[in-house]
Amino acid sequence: MIGNLKTFAGLDRLALGGGATGGVTVSGGKYLTDDVYLEVTGGGREGPSAQVEWRINRALSLISKLAGQGDGKLAVRWRKDY
């Protein structure tokens, strides 16, 4: 069912999550280009948020997140495949 909804909405990713203390969250995301991914999340304890991930190269990504309360975060992700 979620796969059909994801396809219908034209999203690359759709997820339902949360728990008893954090509430239910719904996240949907789409690749705007091959190396830029946009994800919007609604619900949960933190409220709505939007996140953009720019994959600079295979191992390095820059992630920017803006939350509903006006909180902003910037992170750098480095990964190594073994």
The pLDDT tens digits for 12-50 are 999 988 766 668 889 999 999 999 999 999 987 778 999
Domain ranges of the chain: 2-78
> What are the structure tokens assigned to 51, written together?
């996140």
CB of 44 closer than 8 Å to CB of 61: no
Q: What is the pLDDT of residues 45-69, one digit of tens each?
A: 778 999 999 999 989 999 999 987 7
> What are the structure tokens assigned to 14, written together?
């759709």
- Specify the pTM: 0.80
Query: Nearest 10 degrees: CA dihedral of 63, 23, 10, 8?
Result: 170
